[in-house]
Chains A and B, each alone.
Chain A
Amino acid sequence: MPEATGRNDIFPRSKWWWLGLALLLLLAGWLYLRGYNHGLPFIKHNDEAHHLLAGQHMVDMGNARGVAHDAYPPAMRTLIYLFLKHLKPAEAHHGTMLPALRLTTIVAWMLVVALIALLGAKMAHPLTGLMAAAFWVVNTWIVDRAHYVLPDGYLTLFTLLALWLALVGALHNRRSCSTAAVYSLMLAIVFKTQALFVAPIVLLLPALNGWRNPARRRDARRQTFWNCVRFAIFLFWLLLIYPTLEVDSIVYFPTSYSSIGLPDLGSALASLQNALVSFMPLDRWLAIALACGLLWRYRQRVNFTAFAVIAGAALLWLLGMSMFNIQGRRHYFAVAAIMAIVFGAGLTGLLFAGQELLARIPALPFSPRLRRQLATAAVLLLLALYLLPTYQRSESRVYRFTLHDRRGDLMRYMDTSLPPGGYVTERNGPNHKTFNRSWGGYDGVHDYPLAGNILDLLEKPLEAWRGNDAVYAIAPYPDDADDPQVYFPDETVLLKSYPPDPRFRGPSMVVLRLYPMQYQADGQLGPIRLAGYDLNAREFSAGDELTLRHYWRAEQPTTAVLDVYNHLFDADGDLVAQVDYVPLWDDRRPTTAWDDPDEILLGREFVMTLPQDLPPGVYGLFSGFYDPVTGQRLTNEAGEDRLFISDITIAEP
């Protein structure tokens, strides 16, 4: 049998091949690594949060049944469990391990690139692998997926590794490789059970040697037998000890053993189509198929065993999954990887044809070697040009990952600036889990529970918004940028806006307080302007409590951290009552951090207890800012260091 690498080597020996692979890995690293910590601390992807939560449940309770994840293939949450249990600081949120986990996952995706190159090289020509790997690396779908901690990378890695090891074991008569292939397949299965469909190929491939070489028949049978024994033990664990067959209990799990049917060619073809179009339109794949046909002419240079094994694996995968009629693309990464190898094989057909063509042109003044190199360079150039638009799309995708997600800002803003309270947002909107500690990665001090997630939020009355004790609303930024106060401006306060901005990732949005400001005001002290206030009354009796809340707006942050003072003066200008403190609900948002001129800062609720012996009469309520360290006050242009809030009348007892 011809060996694809030209010699009986497991690995290609050409330094140029390894250099090419290194360059492709660099390219993959460039595409996969940038923005690896996108979104964080907000966890956007549901599955990432689910796996993390399952891992945390394992640490806390010894199993993941609490999140209906105990029957899910265990490897992903076990990997997470290791990070959470042995690396995470005791008090840290489980989401803090996501960067490290994402980097680990990216490493797995990069190893997939190397395995595609190795498998392709085994099939026809060393360049087959490199061209397949290049085709794979720039695929936007893969680039996107590589940024999340999901089992797909590991599943693809261990499936391809199992195929490569099985091929090496069979083609090079290496028993250890055939054995390792079985273990690798087991690893793939514990990441996603669907890898089971490839098992017949990996288990039985050693028998090929017995068929090819009768002298090795006994060894081949023994190897196949022990492969089956190992796999039987694994299946015993998988099916009888591990609750694999109880997958129906997993939330949103796409597979149910109760819905299993016969393999369905239509479903398999639809799935294949989904995987193929992730690379390029179907009609172009037709051209690749024709190019693959060219390989028949050069069959002496093609390893059809490798071809059959790789293609057979894809076929089994497709038919296996068709028994569940599952066509979602994310279940077919391994098939897609094999299709990339097929693409590489098609280009290899063109390469061989080009080399033959150049070799037959007698007029060319080049040596045969140079003619081959010219043909190779031409094919590689064509490939590079062809992949350029895809690369640009992927590059654009990666750029988006590098953008800052403003939901992280929103978390920090509300945690430090607003009193705890429920919020309402759109049910299918981007903020329904922003303040969910388990699912959204929120790790703030204060709680902002989802008071109600309303479908078609904008079409509902304010009363629906206020339902379920909602204090705030997080709504999409209005289309009319000139009139941002479209959200019941008379009945709510627009606290903070996050307008559309290409520099940021995540939604544009506004934060509303679902209660109106009682009184407008426009006094100014330093850079801070009083936009209004709430006051529980203007007439009191001695001994009553006066409750006051300011609404501030700052043109720019102050240079020092300032506190608010609130003084009640009698007609003679004597201070009769006072209450001083940090201006907002939380002292982590000092005036030095009032950096958004469009923001309305919701002041803390000051409660001033009026003295029991306060004589009836009219008093003046004033507020101002002072530096608690130096005592220095903010003043306005008129030189005043306080703002008049309201006259307060103390009634006769």
Chain B
Amino acid sequence: MTTRAGWDSDKPILPRSKWWWLGLALILALSAALYLPGYDASLPYIDNPNEPAFNLAAQTIIDSGSARSISFDAYPPGVITLNYLLVKYAKADGAHFSSVLPLLRLLTIATWLGCLPLLALIGSGLARPVTGLLAALIWAVNPWVVAEARFAEANAYVTFFVLLSLWLALAGASTGRRSCSSAAIYSLFAAIVFKTQAIFLLPIIWALPLINLLRGRGGRAQIWRLQFWNVVRCGAFLFWLLLLYPTLEADRIPFWVAPSQSLALPSPATLWANLAPVLRSIQPLALWLAMAFLLIPLARHRRSRDPLALGVTVVAAGAWLIGVSLFGIQQPRQFYVLGTQLTLLFALGLTGLIIMLEAAVSRLELLQERPAAQKALPTVIALALALALFAPAFEQSRHIAWQFTRHDRRNDLARYMDTSLPPGKYASPHDNHKTFNRSWGGYAGINDFAWQGEYAMLSDKPLAEWRALGVDYAVMPHAPLLGNPSIYNPEETVLLKTYPVDPRFRGPDMVVLWLRPMANAHGGRLGGIKLLGYDLSSNELAARDKIIFRHYWRAETPSDAPVHVFNHLLDVAGAIVAQADSFPLFDARRDTTTWDDPDEILLGREFTLSLPADLTPGAYQLVSGFYDPLTGLRLFSASGDDRLLISEITVAPLEG
């Protein structure tokens, strides 16, 4: 029915069928089951490089008023502002700025979920209500989306606001609701502040009300007035975007994907290179051909489709593809909006199948007397086909979701090194290059472990060269060790800790090496702790000298109580002439009750024992043992000894 100057003002904007809303609710539940598990993947280690960039930009704005110091002041401000709000108002005092990431990720997931109703609504307007549900279902199980959904990036927001803008613009154009057309413009502004590339859709959103001039619907003056005010709104927004905000200085953003010098008309090859991965993310290319054929029945059944919505979907997809391709071949993550439009077209193809089936079923005499079955059967068949088609995608998405739920061992590595090893520089390949980076890796430990600066395997340089660079540790892949245990110079390094390949964990398999050899081997044992060896500065000294030594421990099981190490220098009579006692490792947080890895070599703290000035020249013994600092009880060996002889020490007479 048309009223008020030809508008379909009574046309419902939202589907009225309860079944439709139930279907949408089920799809939302399904997608939540795919998006939410492992939403805090890897944390506190931040795996994704963009998340810490936005976090850091927000923290820099709080600290210094602008993100220019990390060259992010020209980045579209939406996602940084969102980070800013959470870091400023939701972060606990003293907490690391990445502590807001779980909340941010939940917000982002909610936004991805918000895309589904919008897809369903646009799809419903495109052809039939079921078209929208099919589109939402296809999008919900797309592994490409599931893999992205957890990361607090701008893609969710730009996709959401573009879809909202398209839906509002279509609703405004078809029902004559000026408020919808204006809101569509504002929604697109919101998309643009998350990613500037949404600007390619601005002409479509702005021009959509004009279609009614061609259709002869609505008052011309009313339409032109709306267009005028939309031009004013766009003008004000573009004034801000281009003249106030430093958008045009985006070239200085690190790793910026759209540098102005790469701006060129895209070749067909570039367009295809950008389009193909998005198509494949939905279905193989061959199936897309079949879908194209299925669109033919829609052409015949004009009442089953809305040419305006179809045109807008196709033009929006084309504008996005061509617009983003102006900057060359881009990563698939730049094309989520294109993905939504292609998903709508795929769902439209499935709707064509339903129409074909309806035509076929209407001829079946068997069902002539069962109109309900005749009506439902084509849809059920199409839905079953869709489920069959997308079952592999669902399975893949479920696997991706499960992967996100696994514990990331880089957190274990960070905790292990922070509590067990003295601060130092380390070498690693790409996997662990930012594990100890407080800004980019989320590391919040007490001790610092600086990365040496280049992605490298230990074998890339002679060991002496690594040591000359001041590198103390190497965090290397574990897998090569299985094939060749000598690969990491076992004579010249100490294999402190291993994280072998294990499907229960996320993150790389790895080993931690101490790039110094253990000077002296030992085999003593006290309780569950074995002394593998030690380093000793010298065993021939004079009075007033210092003995510097370090133990290498291994524990079969953790001790019941935290025990400390005592180191005594005994004279021939067994009397203590010097001693140095403390907890065994560099950091007291890694006490002997947590020595829970029988394969780990625990790098003892460096003890310094000062010899008394009046120490008589002669032979002494350096012995070490464990004692409970609360009770004084000591650990014993199998033979009942409560100490291990480290070395005979000879004290020479003082010269002169």
Contact = CB atoms under 8 A, between A and B. Distances in A.
Contacts of A86: 243
Given A62-B246, A86-B243, A241 B85 contact: yes
Given A62-B73, A240-B89, A241-B85, A78 B244 contact: yes
Contacts of B65: 62-65, 70, 243
Interface in A524-580: none
How many B residues touch the partner, as a band?
Answer: 10 to 19
A82 B244 contact: yes
Nearest to B73: A62
Contact of A63 (B64, B81, B84, B89): B64
A64 B84 CA distance: 18
Contact of B243 (A62, A82, A243): A82
A442 interface: no
B67 A62 contact: yes
Nearest to A81: B244
Contacts of A364: none
Contacts of A240: 85, 88-89
A63 B243 CA distance: 15
B9 interface: no
A61 B88 CA distance: 21
B114 to A, nearest CB: 19
B489 interface: no
Interface string B220-237: 000000000000000000
26 contacts: A61-B68, A62-B65, A62-B66, A62-B67, A62-B68, A62-B246, A63-B64, A63-B65, A63-B68, A64-B65, A65-B64, A65-B65, A65-B66, A70-B65, A78-B244, A81-B244, A82-B243, A82-B244, A85-B243, A86-B243, A240-B85, A240-B89, A241-B81, A241-B84, A241-B85, A243-B65
A54 to B, nearest CB: 11
Contacts of B89: 240
Contacts of A243: 65
Contacts of A63: 64-66, 68
Interface in B65-94: 65-68, 73, 81, 84-85, 88-89
A24 to B, nearest CB: 29
Contacts of B88: 240
A55 to B, nearest CB: 12
Interface residues of A, number: 14
Secondary structure at the A interface, as helix, strand, loop or mixed, is helix
Contacts of B84: 241
Contacts of B68: 61-63
B161 to A, nearest CB: 15
Contacts of B67: 62
B228 to A, nearest CB: 11
Interface in B241-277: 243-244, 246
Interface string A455-485: 0000000000000000000000000000000
A295 to B, nearest CB: 39
A86 B245 CA distance: 12
Nearest to A65: B65
A169 B243 CA distance: 32
Nearest to B229: A176
Contacts of B66: 61-63, 65
Interface string B575-599: 0000000000000000000000000
A70 B244 CA distance: 15
Nearest to A236: B85
Contacts of A65: 64-66
Contacts of A81: 244
Interface in A77-101: 78, 81-82, 85-86
Given A78-B244, A86-B243, 11 more contacts: A61-B66, A61-B68, A62-B66, A62-B67, A63-B64, A63-B68, A70-B65, A240-B85, A240-B88, A240-B89, A243-B65
B73 to A, nearest CB: 4
A389 to B, nearest CB: 45
A508 to B, nearest CB: 42
- The 7 A-B pairs with the shortest beta carbon distances in the complex, nearest first, are A63-B65, A62-B66, A65-B65, A62-B68, A63-B66, A62-B73, A70-B65
A86 B239 CA distance: 12
B248 to A, nearest CB: 11
A354 B66 CA distance: 63
